[in-house]
Amino acid sequence: MTLKRGLALVTIIAIIGVVGCTTTAPFITSFTGLPATMNVGDTATLTATGGPGSSRGLWTWTFTVAPAGCGSVSPASYPPGTLTTVTTTFTAGPGTGSCTVTVTLTTAAGRSASASQTTTIGAPLLLLPACTYPEATFITPAGTVNNQPIAGNPGDRAFAYVQIYDATSPFTDDPVLHLRSSGLASPSNCPAAGDLECDDDDGATYTSLGGTFIAWGANSVIAGHPLATASDVVSVNGFGGGAVGEAGNPYRLYRHVVPAANLVIPPSDPGNTPATAFPVPTSPTPWMIGESITAGDADWYRFDANAGEAIFVALDMTPDSPSGSHDDLSAWDAVLELRDGAGNLLKTVDGSATFGSPAPPAEAFAIRINTSGTYFIVVRHFSAAGTGPGYHLTACRTSTVLPAGAEEPLGGKPFTPKYPDDK
């Protein structure tokens, strides 16, 4: 009996010892936040959650990226501590292709747990630079003037555009757009005393969407005129002192300033097809492209756009040459187009003829992009045999104040015009 009792006691002690020595490994319960696809320069916030198991002491977190050069993380590690949830910011590139981010939790005893996520990184997007000023909406009552800043350094190039549409009376809201060094006190037709440049429906005559005529209109454009001071303004009033915009139907004002030194001359003639299109510059920012048109030529420029952005494109047709100054006498009749990634025509603007109203002429449009992707800006002469001695083109992107649901639908098109006469 004594021997049996002794054996039972030893067995109990052994079982207790085994239970007392049982341990659990460190673990990671979740690791999230990395998109399936990214482009060079994109960022993502990654979140990891886990714990040390039964290990005592503090533990560390580390993030690694493989292969080298496909991306980076910040922070790459956390010092010893007791955090159970950590985050890091992953930046894609400069390399492209498959990229894996791994998180590792390591205990004081050297035990560890890991988890990984993988993404595919594509080439950087050719996004347009941000507009100097965001899109803005206004109503200017009859007998008043709306003065808004368009600041920069003297000599910088100013681009401004008033976009209107009145569905019942397209010509009743005829805006006059002035570029000045001081605000205009009272309404004036072109030109007002002190104007640097003035326009009355320069980009007005014709606009189409998808090759279908939409409407005649009376939008105004100033493109490429040098600023005189660091505090110039644009002034908007109705023709003859009338109103511009109305309740529920305001006009939109776009403003963009490009330093004269940011003129980009393509090394060769931009191609005439989507495959040979000249990519918009990534530097300097903002930019202004200087080119010319030969007989039968069309210059294609490729860019990428994100859904929900508004893009503003403006064309100055009065430089003497691609690198020339503004307001010479070599005006020509340009057509400005927007095309989708397959080269299909989405929008045509041709309103200024060769003289403008008044001279010098310009073209412009602004539109909201509803589908992310690649697009093309095309510049050509109205006549197949016509030539353009020089032009300056700029484009920018801005947030839009009008929600998509409030805009004019356009059956399946990848963008939505602000109004049917969206220039």
Question: pLDDT over 90 for what percent of the chain?
Answer: 60
Contact in structure between 396 and 131 (CB atoms under 8 Å) = yes
Q: Which residues contact 111 (CB under 8 A, 6 or more apart)?
A: 25, 26, 52, 53, 55
Query: pLDDT tens digits, residue range 345-379?
Result: 888 887 655 555 667 788 888 888 888 899 999 99
Res. 135 pLDDT band, cuts 50 70 90:
very high
The reported pLDDT for the residue numbered 391 is: 94
Lowest mean pLDDT among 17-26, 132-141, 194-203: 17-26
Mean pLDDT of 68-82: 97
Lowest mean pLDDT among 189-193, 258-262, 365-369: 365-369
Structure tokens at 110: 């050297």
Kindly tell me if the per-residue pLDDT of 20 is higher than 50.
no
Kindly tell me if the per-residue pLDDT of 19 is higher than 80.
no
Look up residue 318 and give its DSSP letter.
-
Kindly tell me if the per-residue pLDDT of 14 is higher than 60.
no
Res. 7 pLDDT band, cuts 50 70 90:
very low
Cβ-count burial of 101 within 10 angstroms (0-12 exposed, 13-18 middle, 19+ buried)?
buried
Kindly tell me if the per-residue pLDDT of 181 is higher than 70.
yes
Res. 325 pLDDT band, cuts 50 70 90:
confident
Query: pLDDT tens digits, residue range 380-389?
Result: 998 888 988 8
Kindly tell me if the per-residue pLDDT of 263 is higher than 90.
yes
The reported pLDDT for the residue numbered 353 is: 53
The reported pLDDT for the residue numbered 410 is: 31
Structure tokens at 249: 């139907």
Res. 416 pLDDT band, cuts 50 70 90:
very low
Kindly tell me if the per-residue pLDDT of 418 is higher than 50.
no
The reported pLDDT for the residue numbered 352 is: 57
Mean pLDDT of 10-37: 72
Lowest mean pLDDT among 9-23, 75-89, 141-155, 192-206: 9-23
Mean pLDDT of 5-30: 61
The reported pLDDT for the residue numbered 421 is: 35
Mean pLDDT of 77-102: 97
- pTM of the full predicted structure? 0.77
Query: pLDDT tens digits, residue range 194-250?
Result: 999 998 865 543 444 444 444 445 688 999 999 999 999 999 999 899 998 888 778
Kindly tell me if the per-residue pLDDT of 307 is higher than 90.
no
Mean pLDDT of 329-350: 85
Strands (E), 185-332: 195-200, 207-209, 212-215, 220-226, 233-238, 251-258, 263-264, 278-279, 288-293, 298-305, 309-316
Mean pLDDT of 260-264: 95
Q: How many CA atoms lie within 13 A of 271 on its CB side?
A: 11
The reported pLDDT for the residue numbered 346 is: 82
Contact in structure between 78 and 86 (CB atoms under 8 Å) = yes
Strands (E), 93-156: 97-107, 112-122, 136-138, 146-149
Kindly tell me if the per-residue pLDDT of 394 is higher than 50.
yes
Distance, in Å, from the CA atom of 271 to the CA atom of 302, rounded to the nearest integer, reads 10
Sorted by where each starts, the structural domains of the chain and their CATH numbers stand as: 34-122 (2.60.40.10), 136-416 (2.60.120.380)
Q: How many CA atoms lie within 13 A of 352 on its CB side?
A: 34
Kindly tell me if the per-residue pLDDT of 18 is higher than 50.
no
